[in-house]
Amino acid sequence: MFDFLSDYDNPTLLGAFWMTVKLTFFSGIGSLIWGTLLAAMRVSPVPLMRGFGTAYVNIVRNIPLTVIIIFTSLGLADVFGVTMGASDFQVRGFRLAILGFVVYTAAFVCEAIRSGINTVPLGQAEAARAIGLTFSQTLRLIILPQAFRSVIGPLANVLIALTKNTTVAAAIGVAEAAYLMKQMIENEAQTLLIGAVFAFGFVVLTLPTGLFLGWLSKRLAVKR
Amino acid sequence: MTSVLYDAPGPRAKRRNVLISVIFFALLALLAWFIWDAMDEKNQLEWALWKPFTQSEAWTTYLLPGLGNTLKAAALAMVIALPLGAFFGISRLSDHRWVRGPAASVIEFFRAIPVLLLILFANEAYDRWANVTTEQRQLYAVVTGLVLYNASVLAEVVRAGILALPKGQSEAAKAIGLRKGQTMRTILLPQAVTAMLPAIVSQLVVIVKDTALGGVMIGFTELLNSRGTLAANYANPIASFIVVSIIYIVLNFMLTSFASWLEQRLRRSKKSTGAVLSAEDMEELNPAATGGTYGTGAGGSI
């Protein structure tokens, strides 16, 4: 019944899901960094930076991820020759997809962190200023460490959404789970079975992540 | 709120802020120039590539029909997903375990699966087991995928909306002798619907964005797909991407603004119970306050 699963070797089933994991991992790290920087800009005392942050979030959030991913391939790579240092088509697609995911997901990471900054009581920032810390010291030493602990829950949501969103990379030929499912489902007769296998794969990927980060966020939440 | 992070600037801070602003502006200008130069080098700035968008043909042949299909799929998905979501959301609040359990499983299952997989599966399923034409099939598949996913997200919205109501509401209903069904129908649901409205409008943005998946993966002729045909005709990939992105941004920005306007208005309203759910509330409410599990497939507004 499951014979067809081994008929595919480019990618194999495990290989496809491994690609999904890799996409999620690198995009997750990238968007965490870029998203934190954006959040810092959005709360900074410099109006121009705040404006840039706000504009970025509002623009990127409202563009479909699919448009961004397709643009990295048809726009960045084909027109402008941006290949991210890759000669192989697969590697190029992989790196471009990560770029697209980071650009998109960072907007949501930024909003999550900003909501976390809002949960830190006023007195903390006032106390920090009273002992003479600068804005960046206040942010780095007092606000962000507390904010991060309170946004693990929302960030977990973003990470899980990112895991599911990596399927969009199939649109530019990255051999991940959705790409393989499309191939299989078109060629094989066991439509239901294939659907179940891939659904199961995503439940396996997202359920433990959600449970672990949920447990972590309850453990680390600053009790006030 | 965030201005608590820094004091009102004094003379030194003002000077420093101006300096940082100038440097940041220079960086942005450099980036803009870099992009402009790259576009110029690849001849993407030529008027011929942008001219089609000033004439009606590009709009009537490609963009408007595409946008129409996008809106049609989104509207259909919303209209079907809402009652379905309400049904599952209420079922999940049932007193009977055999109702609560299956409802929770269905909701968590469909939230855990990427919409793209649902659309791919639905497309193949309609092809194999249903008698619909190709063109209809693509619309059906997109709508089915969106309905399954968004109904489960909306189910959580409904649940959170009902749980956000003050406890006194259902206690009072019990006190005057209403049955459970009556309490839900006449007391809780009408108030919850008001509380949910902003979150529902925000969810529309997600639906509009996800229709683009159908265009790329199963050839549904929505806005992004029409962009491909348009770019092939006028050879203007970059220009078409920019115009189509602007359409999406304007459309979704209007929805987002409407949602936050609605939220503020409802919060101010004297008639409501004060329970209002925004999209952000949902993300925070979901796991913690409503006593649910850490949903496998959260991320309602992304």
For A81-108, give the secondary structure using H, E and C: CCCCCCCCHHHHHHHHHHHHHHHHHHHH
What confidence tens digit (pLDDT) does each residue in B87-141 have? 999 999 999 999 999 999 999 899 889 999 999 999 999 998 888 888 889 999 9
Cβ neighbour number for residue A123 with a 10 Å cutoff: 10
As a whole number, mean pLDDT of residues B149-157 equals 93
Least reliable range by pLDDT among A85-89, B40-44, B160-164: A85-89
Q: What is the ipTM of this complex?
A: 0.91
Res B195: pLDDT? 86
Kindly state the greatest CA–CA separation across chain A.
70
Distance from CA of A12 to the nearest CA of B (A): 17
**Nearest chain B residue to A107, by CA:** B302
Portion of chain A with pLDDT greater than 70, in percent: 100
pTM: 0.91
CA–CA dist A57, B101 (Å, integer): 38
What confidence tens digit (pLDDT) does each residue in B26-35 have? 999 999 999 9
Q: What element of type H or E holds B162?
A: helix B134-163
Q: Contact at 8 Å (CB) between A152 and A216?
A: yes
Q: Reduced to 3 states, what is the DSSP secondary structure of residue A145?
A: helix
Res B302: pLDDT? 65
Cβ neighbour number for residue A131 with a 10 Å cutoff: 9
Q: Which residues of A touch B42 (CB under 8 A)?
A: 79-80
**Nearest chain A residue to B213, by CA:** A66
Amino acid sitting at position B127: D
Residue A54: CB partners within 8 Å, gap ≥ 6?
A42
Res B4: pLDDT? 66
CA–CA dist A89, A193 (Å, integer): 31
Residue B235: CB partners within 8 Å, gap ≥ 6?
B49
As a whole number, mean pLDDT of residues A96-124 equals 92
Q: Contact at 8 Å (CB) between A213 and A159?
A: yes
Q: Which residues of B touch A74 (CB under 8 A)?
A: 231, 237, 241
- Interface contact A210-B296, CB threshold 8 A: yes
CA–CA dist B218, B143 (Å, integer): 12
Res B119: pLDDT? 95
Cα three-residue angle B218-B222-B228, rounded to 5 degrees = 80
- Interface contact B5-A170, CB threshold 8 A: no
CA–CA dist A72, B136 (Å, integer): 30
- Interface contact B224-A74, CB threshold 8 A: no
- Interface contact A139-B5, CB threshold 8 A: yes
What confidence tens digit (pLDDT) does each residue in B215-272 have? 999 989 999 999 999 999 998 899 999 999 999 999 999 999 999 898 888 888 766 6
Amino acid sitting at position B191: Q
Distance from CA of A151 to the nearest CA of B (A): 9
Q: On the CB side of B238, how many CA atoms lie within 13 Å of its CA?
A: 21
What confidence tens digit (pLDDT) does each residue in B265-300 have? 888 876 667 678 776 666 544 443 333 444 434 455
Amino acid sitting at position A167: T
pLDDT confidence tier of residue A153, bands split at 50, 70 and 90: confident
Residue B49: CB partners within 8 Å, gap ≥ 6?
B234, B235, B236, B238, B239
pLDDT confidence tier of residue B5, bands split at 50, 70 and 90: confident
Res B290: pLDDT? 38
- What count of CB pairs under 8 Å joins A to B? 202
Res B91: pLDDT? 94
Q: What is the Cα B164 distance to its own chain's centre?
A: 21
The residue of A66, A72, A129, A188 whose CB has the most chain B CBs within 10 angstroms, and thus the best one to mutate to test that interface, is A66
Q: What sign has the CA pseudo-torsion A128, A131, A133, A135? A: positive
